[in-house]
A and B are shown apart, each in its own frame.
Chain A
Amino acid sequence: MNAIFSVLFLGSAIVLFFLSPEQFLPTLIDGASKSAALCFALIATYAVWLGLMNVWTDSGVTTGASRLLRPLMRRLFKTDDRQTLDAVCMNTAVNLLGISGAATAYGLTAAKRLENAEHAEYSCAMLFVLNATSIQVLPTSVIGVRTALGSANPADILLPTLLATAFSTLLGLALVRLLIPPCKRQTRQGALPLTLLKTGGTGI
């Protein structure tokens, strides 16, 4: 992120310096104020979804939903940590429902927990690619725009969209598996003698 940011920022700053330097600061402030407005709207969105998410946790919906998805996610993310898997499962479930506000909240929890997981490089990449190429079952905003602009059949893009989004997700998953493979039980093997030593010690 640092490299991409530096290159793009400096590149456009230099161009702007020669073209219209007086626009530089207003442009930056415009961007910041747009994002401040976005954050304000996000507080409202998150308030609704985080509230509902806590109700889900307290009533056991999270545990139930994650029990369904857990076998798949355990294999996909190579982790056995219960709370991480819960967050990842709910992130996927909510993404499929198309509620991006709640998906981000679960995704952030998952990202923080995966940061120190066993196969962190692999599983963080996996989480990112899953969310970035996320499957959209109902592209509501697109259908909204098409309806507003007088399309004869606004929903006829549903099937191609579903195929394209499923394809991008599967391709992403396969590429992560191929290019960022999880290291094979290195830490486990290292940990094994230690635990043996420990139990041996208490035995004596």
Chain B
Amino acid sequence: MNAIFALTVPLLFLFSFGFALFRKVKLYDSFTEGMKRAIPLVVSIFPYIASVAMLTKLLEASGLETQITQAITPAFSLFGVPTEIAPLLFIKPLSGGGAISTLTDILQRYGADSYVARCACVAYGSSETIFYIGAVYFAGSKRKKLPLALAISVFSYLASVVLCCVLCRFM
């Protein structure tokens, strides 16, 4: 599986550059021209990434994160989601780095092939870092319905987690 992905990116570059040469594109000029946009792009999203990161750290340091996780745990077990993966479900929409370390922790604690671990893996893969995407994409946006869109995303994510725990029993 890893081998397939390892080949995807090199092949993507080989085909893209080969095709560009075939279309008589000035490859070096074009490649460097695109790169110029990297620094302004990152500079423009830095404040939003930084504030979400500060918020995540604050939640962690104040212990509020553990409290919220404990508070929502009974709701999960009601829907058949193993309570062991509740910390992952909470951190996943907030922080990509935090989610992968929580996932590793769950896999180490319960074994990589256990039911809990498989649920955690599927839950991890079922959506993106929702709040981070919201912070970056719609920085300074004037649209009023974005909180609703955020709620829709979180709801769809949680619904798919419930589904995946059912799926993991059979697959």
Q: Do A and B come from one complex?
A: yes
Among residues of A, the one whose C-beta sits closest to the C-beta of B152 is A175
A122–B163 Cα distance when bound, in Å, is 27
Known contacts A9-B58, A165-B160, A168-B157; A145/B100 CB under 8 A: yes
CB distance from A19 to the nearest CB of B (A): 7
- Would you call B56 an interface residue if the criterion is a C-beta within 8 Å of the partner chain's C-beta atoms? yes
CB atoms of A55 and B25 under 8 A apart: yes
Name the segment of B70-78, B79-87, B104-112 touching the other chain. B104-112
CB atoms of B31 and A55 under 8 A apart: yes
**Complex partner residue of B138 from A16, A43, A47, A128, CB under 8 angstroms:** A128
Known contacts A128-B146, A147-B2; A12/B128 CB under 8 A: no
A86–B5 Cα distance when bound, in Å, is 26
Residue with the greatest number of chain B CB neighbours at <10 A, chosen from A8, A13, A111, A153 = A8
Interface 1/0s, chain B 135-164, versus A by CB < 8 A? Answer: 111100111111111101101110111011
A9–B133 Cα distance when bound, in Å, is 18
User: From DSSP, what is the main secondary structure of chain A's interface residues?
Assistant: helix
CB distance from A86 to the nearest CB of B (A): 15
A151–B9 Cα distance when bound, in Å, is 25
Among residues of B, the one whose C-beta sits closest to the C-beta of A127 is B137
**Complex partner residue of A120 from B32, B107, B143, CB under 8 angstroms:** B143
CB distance from B14 to the nearest CB of A (A): 11
User: From DSSP, what is the main secondary structure of chain B's interface residues?
Assistant: helix
With a CB–CB cut-off of 8 A, which chain B residues contact A20? 61
- Would you call A52 an interface residue if the criterion is a C-beta within 8 Å of the partner chain's C-beta atoms? yes
With a CB–CB cut-off of 8 A, which chain B residues contact A52? 12-13, 16, 31, 34
Number of interface residues of B (CB under 8 A): 94
**Complex partner residue of B42 from A46, A129, A167, CB under 8 angstroms:** A46
A107–B51 Cα distance when bound, in Å, is 20
CB atoms of A180 and B37 under 8 A apart: no
- Would you call A71 an interface residue if the criterion is a C-beta within 8 Å of the partner chain's C-beta atoms? no
Name the segment of A56-64, A72-80, A185-193, A194-202 touching the other chain. A56-64
- Would you call A50 an interface residue if the criterion is a C-beta within 8 Å of the partner chain's C-beta atoms? yes
A72–B10 Cα distance when bound, in Å, is 29
Among residues of B, the one whose C-beta sits closest to the C-beta of A161 is B125
CB atoms of A128 and B20 under 8 A apart: no
Residues of B within 8 A of A (CB): 1-2, 4-5, 8-9, 12-13, 16-17, 19-20, 22-23, 25-27, 30-35, 37-39, 41-42, 45-46, 49-59, 61-64, 97, 100, 103-104, 107-108, 112-113, 117-118, 121-128, 130-131, 133-138, 141-150, 152-153, 155-157, 159-161, 163-164, 167-168, 171
Residues of A within 8 A of B (CB): 1, 3-5, 8-9, 11-13, 15-16, 19-20, 23, 27-28, 30-32, 34-36, 38-39, 42-43, 46-47, 50-61, 97-100, 104-105, 107-108, 111, 115, 120-122, 124-125, 127-129, 131-134, 136, 138-147, 149-161, 163-165, 167-169, 171-172, 175-176, 179-180
